């Protein structure tokens, strides 16, 4: 692999233009093998899916706030399921299901980790490209196909999958139980199977690249935390996604080939099914064996980027680098042994519930360490309030507020009464949904110049976007804890069937209004993104004065990233505001950061981090 990288290096010396391939439109923009282009493809596909997912959430929020009001928009967008402006209960469930699926997998897994792993791994470790550009291309196009199938499934006659994003059988296995479990569910499963293949190809590529293609001097302990996070995320993905694949495969068998992995003793639509001996609880185990690590697949890349962006903008090293790495490892390990906390009341043995309570609450420890370390990182810093920094601070805020309620939900005894209520919805939206989205936004604001050849996002629009979003997001999810504690179950089409919940209506109205405002703020971002892509101001090569290698690469996108030889690395990536031995000035006088490729200076003390 390194020989391959060297070849490129010499190639570029011989060829002044830095382009030794003939690039056509197709190889440059469509079937590109260049990691920078693939990362943009991931981002734009992810954002497109995000628009669909958020639009869906607005539709069902309207329904929840004003169940008796007829909205013409239902008829416009939902067609026969919104006739006369009244939403069909089945399509409500479909919206909830597809919203969850799209946001978790297509936006926060592919859109977040796919985008930034591709962009940053080669650039930050000093590699010309991914280990296999071809696999990388395949990975994106599989993701694209799975997105297309998921979107197509919205248009099938009986409606898309509507058994919840967790697709628990028998509901997801029997079209008699809900119309969405017909063709819609088949397409959902096919789409996810392809998605898993895409994710695995991507993850294997990231792992190999991080292990093998680091530039000279870039030891594992000198890696920026972003790379650590992407690396471990890829490992978790490789460990857990195949299990979801097996679950999906067995579900396909149960649906189409008459097996009984998850079905037993079922009487539906006036007849007894032949299935015998299967267990839906088995599916829950398999699903959550992926499903829980999945939330860390979503949040770890965000954590890594936030650590990097915070250190850069605080002009301080990240506090406790080794503890940060250790907590990523601890979280990754624990994440694979806590899945049962989604199943405390599933009917599994209560003793198992005790074990999972124990492991689940342990996760609070590395999470607490991380939060304290972030707070200490901004202590006595010189905070540069760029939009990326604001989103990083916002991330820590929602990670704390959302994470703390996890202590309640992770405790089996307390989970009994809040399980599947809006309390859970509030918890996971704050801790993984909103936090990961903030991580995504922080990353986009910070690395936009790297993606679009030096162009930068407009900062004032960024401020508007940030402030409306943070206020709105808390406005949506904070009151949600209350309706959850009041005993309101999630996934209810309307709460009017229970007069007991009548006093929750105005809370739901408040939540919906905040949701609309927050969604509108995303239009500001979208405008900023598109206009800056073409007309954004070009900043300097290293606009945030960061130490990592990506800012030494060429601004113009060339194949191979560096026009000359790949820079070598002599230090960790967090030498911000480091003083010289006499403490008279910074290590490099007048400059408060030392990039990784600068050798140790004469008047500098070498520190081991």
Partner 1 sequence: MTAFLVVLVIILFGVAIWQMGKIFQLSKTETSSNSEVATDKDNNVNGWLMLMFTIFIYLLLIICFWKWGDVLLPESASEHGSEIDSLMYISMALIFVVGFFTLWLLGYFSFKYRGKQGTRATFFADNDKLEFIWTIIPVIVLAGLIIYGLFTWTDIMNVDTDDDPMIVELYAYQFDWRARYAGEDNTLGEANVRLIEGVNQLGVDASDPNAQDDVVTNELHLPTGRKILFKMRSQDVLHSAYMPHFRAQMNCVPGMITQFAFTPTVTTEEMRMNDEVVAKVRKINKIRQENSKALVAKGDEPLEPYEFDYMLLCNKICGSNHYNMQMKIVVHTPEEYEAWMKEQTTLAEALKQ
Answer yes or no whether residue 554 interacts with partner 1 by CB under 8 A.
no
The H or E element spanning position 267 is: strand 267-268
Question: For residue 19, what are the CA distances in angstroms to 24, 27, 453, 562?
Answer: 12, 13, 16, 12
Applying the rule CB under 8 A, the residues between 508 and 537 that interact with partner 1 are 516-517, 520-521, 523-524, 527-528, 531, 536-537
Answer yes or no whether residue 563 interacts with partner 1 by CB under 8 A.
no
In the list 10, 24, 460, 603, the residue contacting partner 1 (rule: CB under 8 A) is 460
Cβ atoms of 59 and 79 closer than 8 Å: no
In the list 27, 482, 555, 563, the residue contacting partner 1 (rule: CB under 8 A) is 482
Cβ atoms of 183 and 166 closer than 8 Å: no
Of the candidate spans 139-147, 192-200, 209-217, 394-402, the one that interacts with partner 1 by CB under 8 A turns out to be 394-402
Answer yes or no whether residue 401 interacts with partner 1 by CB under 8 A.
yes
Q: In this structure, what are the phi and psi dihedrals at residue 246, rounded to the nearest 5 degrees?
A: -65, -40
Of the candidate spans 11-19, 49-57, 237-245, 268-276, the one that interacts with partner 1 by CB under 8 A turns out to be 268-276
Cβ-proximal residues to 533 (8 Å cutoff; 6+ apart), any chain: 452, 455
Of the candidate spans 147-155, 186-194, 237-245, 471-479, the one that interacts with partner 1 by CB under 8 A turns out to be 471-479
Answer yes or no whether residue 352 interacts with partner 1 by CB under 8 A.
no
Answer yes or no whether residue 18 interacts with partner 1 by CB under 8 A.
no
Binding mask 323-342 for partner 1 (x = CB under 8 A): x-------------------
144 exposure class (CB count in 10 Å sphere: 0-12, 13-18, 19+) = middle
In the list 132, 246, 505, 601, the residue contacting partner 1 (rule: CB under 8 A) is 505
Answer yes or no whether residue 456 interacts with partner 1 by CB under 8 A.
yes
Answer yes or no whether residue 423 interacts with partner 1 by CB under 8 A.
no
Of the candidate spans 35-43, 130-138, 222-230, 472-480, the one that interacts with partner 1 by CB under 8 A turns out to be 472-480
Tokens 């819609």 sit on residue: 184
Answer yes or no whether residue 258 interacts with partner 1 by CB under 8 A.
no
Cβ atoms of 67 and 85 closer than 8 Å: no
Q: Which is nearer to partner 1, 9 or 464 (CB)?
A: 464
Cα dihedral sign for 485, 486, 487, 490? negative
Nearest to 189 by CA among 116, 130, 250, 259: 250
Q: How many of the chain's residues bind partner 1 (CB under 8 A)?
A: 150
Applying the rule CB under 8 A, the residues between 153 and 182 that interact with partner 1 are 163-164, 168, 170-171, 174, 177-178
CB of 574 to partner 1, least distance (A): 7
Tokens 């915070």 sit on residue: 310
Cβ atoms of 236 and 333 closer than 8 Å: no
CB of 64 to partner 1, least distance (A): 11
Binding mask 202-231 for partner 1 (x = CB under 8 A): ------------------------------
Cα dihedral sign for 33, 39, 44, 50? positive
Of the candidate spans 1-9, 148-156, 434-442, 481-489, the one that interacts with partner 1 by CB under 8 A turns out to be 481-489
Q: Give me the DSSP letters along 498-542.
A: -GGGGGGHHHHHHHHHHHHHHHHHHHHHHHHHHHHHHHPPB--SS
Tokens 């370390």 sit on residue: 373
Of the candidate spans 7-15, 117-125, 398-406, 546-554, the one that interacts with partner 1 by CB under 8 A turns out to be 398-406
CB of 149 to partner 1, least distance (A): 23
CB of 11 to partner 1, least distance (A): 31
The H or E element spanning position 316 is: none
Q: Which two tokens stand for residue 525?
A: 């971002």
CB of 180 to partner 1, least distance (A): 10
CB of 85 to partner 1, least distance (A): 8
Q: Which is nearer to partner 1, 114 or 595 (CB)?
A: 595
3-class SS of residue 287: helix
Answer yes or no whether residue 548 interacts with partner 1 by CB under 8 A.
no
3-class SS of residue 579: strand
Answer yes or no whether residue 279 interacts with partner 1 by CB under 8 A.
yes
For the chain, what is the radius of gyration of the CA atoms? 25
Cβ atoms of 248 and 290 closer than 8 Å: no
In the list 266, 437, 549, 598, the residue contacting partner 1 (rule: CB under 8 A) is 266
Answer yes or no whether residue 277 interacts with partner 1 by CB under 8 A.
yes
Cβ-proximal residues to 371 (8 Å cutoff; 6+ apart), any chain: 396, 399, 400, 403
Count other C-beta atoms under 10 Å from residue 279's C-beta.
16
In the list 144, 579, 588, 601, the residue contacting partner 1 (rule: CB under 8 A) is 579
In whole angstroms, what is the distance from residue 53 CA to residue 45 CA? Answer: 12
In the list 12, 222, 316, 427, the residue contacting partner 1 (rule: CB under 8 A) is 316
In the list 139, 147, 153, 495, the residue contacting partner 1 (rule: CB under 8 A) is 495
Applying the rule CB under 8 A, the residues between 23 and 82 that interact with partner 1 are 62, 66, 69-73
Answer yes or no whether residue 272 interacts with partner 1 by CB under 8 A.
yes
Nearest to 409 by CA among 352, 336, 338, 479: 338
Answer yes or no whether residue 265 interacts with partner 1 by CB under 8 A.
yes
Q: Which is nearer to partner 1, 206 or 501 (CB)?
A: 501
Of the candidate spans 15-23, 33-41, 201-209, 391-399, the one that interacts with partner 1 by CB under 8 A turns out to be 391-399
Answer yes or no whether residue 263 interacts with partner 1 by CB under 8 A.
yes
In the list 478, 554, 558, 563, the residue contacting partner 1 (rule: CB under 8 A) is 478
Of the candidate spans 129-137, 213-221, 348-356, 431-439, the one that interacts with partner 1 by CB under 8 A turns out to be 348-356
The secondary structure of residue 486, as a DSSP letter, is T
Tokens 């923009």 sit on residue: 29
Cβ atoms of 90 and 159 closer than 8 Å: yes
Cα dihedral sign for 539, 545, 546, 552? positive
In the list 463, 533, 588, 601, the residue contacting partner 1 (rule: CB under 8 A) is 463
């Amino acid at each position: 692999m390194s020989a391959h990288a060297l070849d490129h290096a010499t190639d570029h010396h011989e060829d002044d233009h830095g382009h030794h391939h003939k690039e056509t439109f197709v190889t440059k923009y469509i079937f590109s093998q260049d990691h920078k282009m693939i990362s943009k493809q991931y981002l734009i596909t992810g954002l497109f899916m995000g628009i669909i997912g958020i639009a869906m959430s607005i539709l069902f929020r309207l329904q929840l706030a004003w169940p008796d009001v007829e909205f013409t928009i239902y008829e416009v967008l939902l067609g026969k399921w919104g006739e006369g402006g009244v939403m069909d209960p089945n399509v409500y469930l479909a919206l909830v299901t597809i919203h969850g699926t799209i946001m978790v997998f297509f936006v926060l897994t592919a859109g977040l980790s796919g985008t930034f792993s591709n962009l940053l791994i080669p650039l930050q470790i000093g590699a010309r490209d991914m280990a296999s550009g071809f696999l990388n291309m395949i990975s994106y196009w599989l993701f694209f196909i799975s997105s297309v199938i998921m979107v197509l499934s919205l248009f099938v006659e009986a409606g898309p999958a509507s058994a919840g994003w967790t697709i628990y059988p028998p509901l997801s296995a029997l079209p008699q139980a809900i119309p969405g479990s017909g063709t819609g569910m088949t397409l959902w499963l096919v789409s996810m199977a392809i998605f898993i293949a895409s994710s695995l190809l991507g993850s294997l590529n990231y792992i190999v690249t991080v292990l093998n293609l680091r530039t000279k001097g870039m030891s594992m302990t000198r890696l920026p935390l972003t790379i650590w996070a992407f690396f471990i995320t890829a490992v978790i993905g490789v460990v857990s996604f195949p299990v979801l694949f097996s679950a999906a495969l067995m579900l396909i068998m149960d649906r189409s080939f008459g097996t009984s992995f998850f079905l037993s003793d079922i009487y539906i639509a006036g007849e007894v099914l032949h299935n015998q001996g299967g267990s839906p609880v088995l599916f829950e185990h398999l699903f959550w064996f992926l499903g829980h690590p999945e939330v860390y697949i979503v949040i770890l890349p965000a954590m890594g980027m936030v650590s990097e962006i915070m250190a850069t903008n605080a002009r301080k090293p990240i506090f406790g680098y080794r503890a940060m790495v250790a907590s990523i490892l601890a979280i990754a390990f624990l994440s694979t042994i806590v899945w049962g906390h989604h199943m405390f009341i599933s009917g599994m043995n209560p003793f198992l519930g005790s074990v999972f309570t124990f492991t689940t609450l342990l996760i609070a420890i590395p999470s607490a360490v991380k939060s304290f370390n972030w707070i200490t990182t901004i202590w006595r810093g010189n905070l540069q309030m760029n939009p990326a920094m604001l989103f990083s601070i916002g991330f820590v805020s929602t990670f704390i507020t959302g994470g703390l309620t996890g202590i309640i939900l992770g405790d089996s005894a307390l989970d009994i009464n809040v399980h599947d209520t809006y309390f859970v919805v509030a918890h996971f939206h704050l801790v993984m949904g909103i936090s990961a989205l903030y991580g995504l936004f922080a990353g986009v604001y910070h690395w936009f110049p790297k993606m679009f050849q030096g162009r930068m996002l407009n900062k004032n629009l960024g401020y508007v976007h940030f402030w409306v979003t943070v206020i709105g997001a808390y406005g949506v999810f904070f009151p949600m804890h209350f309706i959850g504690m009041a005993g309101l179950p999630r996934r209810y089409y309307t709460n009017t069937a229970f007069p007991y919940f009548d006093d929750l209506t105005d809370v739901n109205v408040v939540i919906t209004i905040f949701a609309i405002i927050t969604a509108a703020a995303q239009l500001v971002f979208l405008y900023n993104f598109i206009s800056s892509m073409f007309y954004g101001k070009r900043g300097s090569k290293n606009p945030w004065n960061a130490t990592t290698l990506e800012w030494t690469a060429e601004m113009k996108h060339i194949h191979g990233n560096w026009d000359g030889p790949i820079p070598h690395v002599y230090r960790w990536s967090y030498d911000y505001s480091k003083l010289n031995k006499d403490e008279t000035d910074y290590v490099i006088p007048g400059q408060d950061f030392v990039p990784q490729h600068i050798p140790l200076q004469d008047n500098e003390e070498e520190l081991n981090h």
